[in-house]
Every structure is written in C-alpha cells, then in structure tokens.
C-alpha cells in the first residue's frame, strides 16, 4: 500500500539572496510554527560559549537557511509524521493545520501552493496508517496461540 508524501520546495527566483526561517501553520484562529533547520551545537564545542555566541548574534543567523539566486530548499513530510508537525495541541481545542507558509527572517510569510489539498492527502494517509495498525493489533488479539506440537 502506498501513502502520500508532501514535498515543500522553496526556490529563490529573485536576484538577491533570501534567508528562510520557519514553516508557519494556521488553523483559524491558531497559528504556530517550527524552524525549517534545527540549530545544532558543533561536536567538541563548549555549550556555554556557543550559547553566548548565539546571544551576541541573531538566532536567525544560526537557524536560517540562506538561498542564493535559483537555489532551492526542500523538506519532506510522511504520513507517520503528520501529528507531530501539523496538529496543534497547546490549548483546549485540537486544531489541524489547513494552510502553510514559509517565513523569512524579516517576518514576511509566503503561502505554500496547494497546501490545503496536500495537507488533506497527508492526513488521509495518516488515518489509513492508524486503521492498518488497529486492524493488525485486533488480528493479533483474535489469533489463537500456537502450540509447539
């Protein structure tokens, strides 16, 4: 069985370099985001010194993805990752993302084309995975124990 995969590709079509920072998700009235790049402490470096350097500079300097003219960046989401990335659970009501944006370091957001359609497909793939897991678990519960005879 094949499941849908969502690819988000950001391409710099302008002449100047751009720096992208976050993937912004919305489900009215909620809005949340995650960085497109995780800040990692280099191996062998002193954490305290590294944090001080981040403090002296801008966090976006470390977390932004810089794209020169005609360069691109791509991120892939699989159905099993759907809840971790696209379901908002920080308030009383659970919200599922309906729109996606890519945010640059200046705070300007750019809409992800066809996000609604692809989010629905990814959610459907996740639901299929859940149903398959439940049916497999139910099948294991109803199978008779085998004897070693």
Helix (H, G, I), strand (E, B), or coil: what is residue 149? coil
Please state the domain count of the chain: 1
Q: Check residue 14 and report its DSSP letter.
A: S
Could you give the 3-state DSSP secondary structure of residue 141? helix
Residue 1 lies in a domain: no
147 domain-assigned? no
Q: Look at residue 127 and tell me if it is in a domain.
A: yes
Helices (H) and strands (E) in the chain, counts: 4, 9
Residue 66: domain span: 6-140
Residues 6 or more apart in contact with residue 72 via CB below 8 angstroms: 9, 10, 11, 12
* Domain membership flag for residue 148: no
For residue 102, being part of any structural domain is answered with yes
- Residue 101 included in any domain: yes
pLDDT in the model for residue 149: 44
Secondary structure of residue 63 in the 3-state scheme:
helix
Helix (H) or strand (E) holding 49: helix 47-56
Does residue 88 lie within any of the structural domains?
A: yes
pLDDT by residue, tens only, the chain of 149 residues? 677 889 999 999 999 999 998 999 999 888 998 888 877 767 777 777 767 776 666 666 667 899 999 999 999 998 888 888 898 877 777 889 999 999 998 889 999 999 999 999 998 888 888 888 888 877 765 555 554 44
Q: Is residue 24 part of a domain?
A: yes
């Amino acid at each position: 069985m094949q499941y849908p995969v969502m690819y988000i590709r950001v391409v710099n079509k302008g002449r100047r370099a751009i720096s992208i920072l976050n993937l912004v998700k919305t489900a009215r009235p909620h809005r949340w985001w995650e960085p497109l790049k995780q800040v990692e402490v280099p191996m062998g470096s002193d954490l305290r010194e590294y944090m001080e350097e981040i403090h002296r500079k801008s966090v976006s300097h470390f977390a932004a993805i810089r794209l020169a003219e005609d360069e691109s960046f791509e991120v892939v989401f699989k159905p099993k990752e759907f809840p971790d990335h696209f379901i908002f659970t920080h308030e009383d009501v659970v919200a599922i993302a309906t729109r996606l944006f890519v945010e640059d370091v200046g705070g300007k957001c750019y809409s992800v084309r066809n996000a609604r359609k692809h989010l629905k497909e990814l959610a459907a793939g996740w639901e299929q995975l859940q149903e398959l897991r439940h049916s497999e678990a139910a099948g294991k519960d109803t199978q008779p124990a085998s004897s070693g005879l």
